[in-house]
Structure 1
Amino acid sequence: MTKPHEEIMVPSHMDGTGVRWQLMCPGCGTQNVENANYAPDHEVISVQPDRDEYDSPIGTRGGYVSVDLECDAGHSFALVVGNHKGAEFVGVVPRGGQG
């Protein structure tokens, strides 16, 4: 991706039960984001155990979950949630799409 869009999440729900955000494409900002290649969930989600290494796509140490996504314009990216020793991280990284 040449220049990331400034916002990648917008609040879509807030009440006494929790908070939810809607993910936007980091390349163009559209809110229309789908599984990469419209694949089923089990093909776009990967879970990596904590091997105490810095091998997460967002550069964090420990285990992570990655979801491969893309927007209508073809920008490909992954939503990554990582965890290591009580620290939680959320990030979005390019997957090699048009960017």
Structure 2
Amino acid sequence: MPVPHSEALVPVQKDTQEWSMQWQLMCPACGTDSVENKDFSPDHEVATVHPDRDDYDSPLGTRGGYVRVDLTCGEGHGFAFIIGNHKGAEFVGVVARV
């Protein structure tokens, strides 16, 4: 059973500036915090930036540009962390990777 969204992205308390917030991404399949780049590839191979288009081509089903980071947990579950933006609307999501 997948982890509820409230448990997949959890706030982390840090002694940083007041306006900043840090989040820990847990595996959406099993909940572990042992998350690493897909197949431990260099960063430039796992993070891709997609241009701002008016198509609904985001893995989240949203319009506009997005950044995709392919990740794998210590148990071998693959997923992508997506940050999307289209004309002022921001979206964050986790999508299973096959």
TM-score (norm 1): 0.90
In the alignment, is residue 12 of structure 1 matched against residue 40 of structure 2?
no
- CA distance, structure 2, for counterparts of residue 24 and residue 47 of structure 1: 22
Structure with more of its chain in strand, by fraction: 1
- 1:50 maps to which residue? 52
Of 31, 37, 45, which residue of structure 2 is paired with 1:35? 37
Aligned-residue offset at 1:90:
0.2
- Structure 1 segments of 4 or more deviating over 2 A? none
The aligned length equals 94
SS in 2 for 1:27: coil
Aligned-residue offset at 1:13:
2.5
- CA distance, structure 1, for counterparts of residue 3 and residue 65 of structure 2: 27
Q: Which runs of 5+ in 1 are unaligned?
A: none
How well do the aligned residues superpose, as a CA RMSD in angstroms? 1.1
- CA distance, structure 2, for counterparts of residue 73 and residue 35 of structure 1: 13
Structure with more of its chain in helix, by fraction: 2
1:61-88 alpha-carbon deviations (Å, 9 max, x no partner): 0000000001011100000000001100
TM-score (norm 2): 0.91
